[in-house]
């Protein structure tokens, strides 16, 4: 989180440390928490808080625009989006790699999935695959 705050918000290390030490780990928290919460932090005045929230909001808006632009490519199926633990962003990334349905996700092995998306942890990959396979077992019980 500290590195991300320094890079995305162009912060000094001390300010990033302060935010992380106070429990802030996501840009959304910085952008949308009431300003009064940030003003409680030692060393942050109203001007700094306003600038922080403005920068965080700008970064989030830029990311959203980039995501929307990228969505002109392959679309994930509704059943992929409904897999427990799946995020919309992850579903679109999988769809770009040809894994655009729950069934295609269920057929993956953990190593195949982490090869497609190197930043995906093995733990999350395994969890998603198991949730995608859950309907196999529900159908066989009938």
Domains 2-70 and 78-141 agree in fold: yes
Stated pTM of the model: 0.50
Distance CA 52, CA 93 (A): 29
**Domain locations along the chain:** 2-70, 78-141
* Assigned architecture for domain 78-141: Orthogonal Bundle (1.10)
The single-letter DSSP state of residue 42 is: T
* pLDDT tens-digit series, residues 62-106: 888 877 766 677 899 999 999 999 999 999 999 999 999 999 999
Q: Which whole number is the average pLDDT over 112-133? A: 94
pLDDT-derived band at 34 (thresholds 50, 70, 90) equals: very high
Domain covering 2-70, topology: DNA polymerase; domain 1 (1.10.150)
Q: How many helices (H) and strands (E) does the chain have?
A: 10, 0
Distance CA 10, CA 3 (A): 10
């Amino acid at each position: 989180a500290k590195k991300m705050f320094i890079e995305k918000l162009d912060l000094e290390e001390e300010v990033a440390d302060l935010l992380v030490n106070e429990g802030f780990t996501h840009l959304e928290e910085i952008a949308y928490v009431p300003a009064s919460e940030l003003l409680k932090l030692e060393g942050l005045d109203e001007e700094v808080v306003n600038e922080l929230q403005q920068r965080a909001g700008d970064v989030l808006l830029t990311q959203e625009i980039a995501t929307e632009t990228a969505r002109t490519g392959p679309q994930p199926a509704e059943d992929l989006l409904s897999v427990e633990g799946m995020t919309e962003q992850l579903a679109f990334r999988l769809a770009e790699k040809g894994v655009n349905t729950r069934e295609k996700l269920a057929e993956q092995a953990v190593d195949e999935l982490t090869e497609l998306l190197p930043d995906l942890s093995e733990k999350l990959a395994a969890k998603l695959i198991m949730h995608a396979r859950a309907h196999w077992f529900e159908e066989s019980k009938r």
